[in-house]
Amino acid sequence: MSLHPIDMAVIAAYIGLTLFIGFWISTRANKGMRSYFLGGNRLPWYALGLSNASGMFDVAGTMWLVSILFVYGLKSVWIPWLWPVFNQVFLMVFLSIWLRRSGAMTGAEWITFRFGDGPAARLSHLIVVLFALILVLAYMAYGFLGIGKLAVQFIPLDLAGLLQLDVFLPTALKAPNLAGDLLAQREAAMISLNEKVFGVVLIFLTSLYVIKGGMYSVVFTEVIQFLVVTVASVGIAVIAMMHVAPDTLAAAVPEGWGNPFFGWRLGLDWSNLLPSADTKIASEGYSLFSIFFMLVLLKGIFTSLAGPAPNYDMQRILSARTPVEAAKMSALVSIVLNVPRYLLITGLTILALVYFSPYLRDMGTDADFEAVLPFALREFIPVGLLGLTLAGLLAAFMSSFAAPLNAAPAYVVNDIYRKYIKPNASEKTYLRISYLVSTVFVIIGTLIGVFLTSIDNVINWITAGLYGGYTAANVVKWYWWRMNGYGYFWGMLTGIVFALGLGMPQVDINPLQAFPFFFVACLIAVVVGSLVTKPTNMETLQRFYLKTRPWGLWGPVADSLAAAGRTVSPNTNLKRDLINVAVGIVWQTALVCVPIFLVIQDWPKMLAALSVVLITSVFLKLNWYDQMRDYPEDYSPDEERTHKSDVGLNL
């Protein structure tokens, strides 16, 4: 499809504005490492929240969410628990506050705060850096995969042909005057090459302002990107509601599509409407939906208790001005991400359900449900709004790619180069190394993305494989004083080995179904690795507990503080926090349902979901928001203002 000149102008103007703002504001990032990676801890919580939400509003994820809403209907609201999306609730209730109290710059630096700086702590420090860098590359490749698929649908340029990349095609597809199946294979191969080329070009443009401006550029450009996406989402929702009446939608979907609740089985029968949808459900293993739900809930709770993985989400928390502002930022993400995103997703989905289903039926077993989003945009969005929408989706890609790209040099420069190679180099030296590291990661992430084909497979591996391997060691570190750096190292190493094994193409094991087994293996590695070695230095544990004050098994540390003349009150908020988490998950899920019911015009269910949002909001205001404190009442940051930790941070 050729874009109208107005749409092309809107997209070009948006890219130009983003690059201008990114470079203009980059002067603030040149003041030092903390300014480059954390914005100097001066960015307001609402800007960080909008930025974090924008980073999660990615093209690949949006294409995937459209495809699962198309097939699973309202029951699809449970499938993103794979990540799990409700980890933001655990963060807002207590974990963001605990994490921000450290004053660390990265997740690896937090490990030093927790385990000290001995040999065990250095092993744990290096293993979390390794995990963080694997995660960064996975997210960058994942973002690359989505933007190429979208761009090739709308930009009428055969860049692969212009660059003569057809030389990489198989010999049989290079012959002139091809016809029939060979011609179709060549066209499909050239489309795939063009997806990769467009992905590379857009990654290059995004990298320019991220590498130059650090966290300042990322946050301020992402706020603008979020506003663009929101306007486009509202416009698409209105168009969908005008084109698709409730009765028309009901005729295009199976019974139960509009009901979020389920029994032992999924309960959707597409056999008379779109048989390939039944095939997709069976291939993804979601037919016995109750078993799937129990697995994602189990995995989600443990993954959420582990706290944020060392990625862009953690960077936003550490960038907050205060611990309470970090919690507010995490709460804002659920609101500003879910409402506009699901307006867009639902609008595109119902347009495709009514008008794209015949094309999917013609594809037979080769139906590509990830093509739903491009089709709906191409066929129904008017000139001007299409340009704005594509600019918004481009913005979503830039955000999702920029966020991990900003995190990568933080780990390499701050946690390897600065800690082990040149601890006394100038700030300018560290910044120059950061530029170099970012460039290297752009190249590696892009090369990995070139060889990926399925968004769904990448999501399953990241959520169940990579995050699954991260979970055990990072749950225990918060709640058991006896865990030391050796236990953390062996637990993380076991998880990384399992995750990389599950990612091998010759391994045909569902990562979600494997999660309970390798979680137990990682947990055993943590416990055994900790108990057969010496505990962490008690002074390090005292400093961590005094400042962070987690609930859990911390009695011996509290006793040692009391013996040293420093009596502290234990954290007695376990029951309240868990109640707030349960209510918060209901609140967040209802926030997802409201825009879906609005766009499909199911007014009774929309009002019911909205009532749930209001009731749970009042409860959380009283039982969570009003109870937050930056630090425990018996601790003041002034106590350690002049104390320098082993890593040189002000604690």
Angle at 277 (CA atoms; ends 275, 280), nearest 5 degrees: 120
Per-residue pLDDT of 567-605, as tens digits, reads: 899 999 999 999 999 999 999 999 999 999 999 999 999
pLDDT band at 27 (very low <50, low <70, confident <90, very high): low
Residue 264: which pLDDT band, with cuts at 50, 70 and 90? confident
Confidence at residue 494, expressed as pLDDT on a 0 to 100 scale? 92
Contact 346, 599 (CB under 8 A): yes
Mean pLDDT of 440-451: 78
Give the CA radius of gyration of the chain. Answer: 25
Please report the pLDDT score of residue 383 as a whole number.
86
**Tens-digit pLDDT profile for residues 450-502:** 776 666 666 666 766 677 778 899 999 999 999 999 999 999 999 888 887 87
DSSP state of 532: T
Query: Above 80 in pLDDT, residue 170?
Result: no
Q: Which pLDDT score, from 0 to 100, does residue 291 have? A: 87
311 and 404 in contact (C-beta within 8 Å)? yes
**The dihedral sign for the CA sequence 184, 189, 195, 197:** negative
* Cβ atoms < 10 Å from Cβ of 148: 27
- The answer to whether 295 and 517 have CB atoms below 8 angstroms apart is no
Which neighbouring-strand residues pair with 553? 480
Per-residue pLDDT tens over the stretch 42-59: 778 988 888 778 767 777
Report the pLDDT value the prediction gives residue 229, as an integer from 0 to 100.
81
One-character DSSP codes across 459-492: HHIIIIIIHHHHHHHHHHHHHBTT--HHHHHHHH
* Structure-block tokens of residue 16: 């130009």
pLDDT of 32 above 50: no
pTM here is 0.82
Confidence of residue 618 (pLDDT cuts 50, 70, 90): very high
Residue 72 has pLDDT above 90, yes or no: yes
Angle made by CA atoms 266, 271, 277, in degrees to the nearest 5: 65
Least confident window among 42-46, 69-73, 133-137: 133-137
SS3 content of the chain, % helix, strand, coil (to 5): 75, 0, 20
pLDDT of residue 364: 67
Segment 626-635 shows an average pLDDT of: 91
The better pLDDT of the pair 2, 517 is held by: 517
Instruction: Tell me how far apart the alpha carbons of residues 231 and 14 are, in angstroms, rounded to a whole number.
Output: 14
Percent of the chain scored above 70 by pLDDT?
Answer: 83
Tokens of 422: 């040149």
Top pLDDT among 426 and 87 is at 87
Residue 328 has pLDDT above 80, yes or no: yes
- Residue 292 three-state SS: helix
Q: Give the C-alpha distances (Å, rounded to integers) separating 542 from 96, 113, 125, 554, 631.
A: 20, 11, 19, 10, 15
For residue 22, the model assigns a pLDDT of 64
Q: According to DSSP H, which parts of 25-118 are helical?
A: 33-38, 45-56, 59-72, 87-90, 96-100, 107-115
Residue 180 has pLDDT above 60, yes or no: yes
Give the count of beta carbons closer than 10 Å to the beta carbon of residue 611: 12
Given this model, what pLDDT does residue 362 score? 77
Q: Is the pLDDT of residue 641 over 70?
A: no
pLDDT in tens, 156-165: 677 777 777 7
Question: Is the model's pLDDT at 70 over the cut of 80?
Answer: yes
Higher pLDDT, 216 or 129: 129
pLDDT at 234: 92
Tell me how far apart the alpha carbons of residues 91 and 304 are, in angstroms, rounded to a whole number. 8
- Cα distance between residue 356 and residue 187, in whole Å: 22
State the DSSP code for 451. Answer: T
Q: Residue 116 and residue 228: Cα distance in Å, rounded?
A: 44
Residue that wins the pLDDT comparison between 29 and 359? 359
Average pLDDT over the chain reads: 82
How do residues 378-434 score in pLDDT, each as one tens digit? 788 888 888 888 877 776 666 666 666 666 777 788 778 887 888 888 878 887 888
The answer to whether 574 and 549 are in contact (CB under 8 A) is no
User: DSSP string covering 208-239, please?
Assistant: HHHHHHHHHHHHHHHHHHHHHHHHHHHHHHHH
Q: What percent of the chain has pLDDT over 90?
A: 33
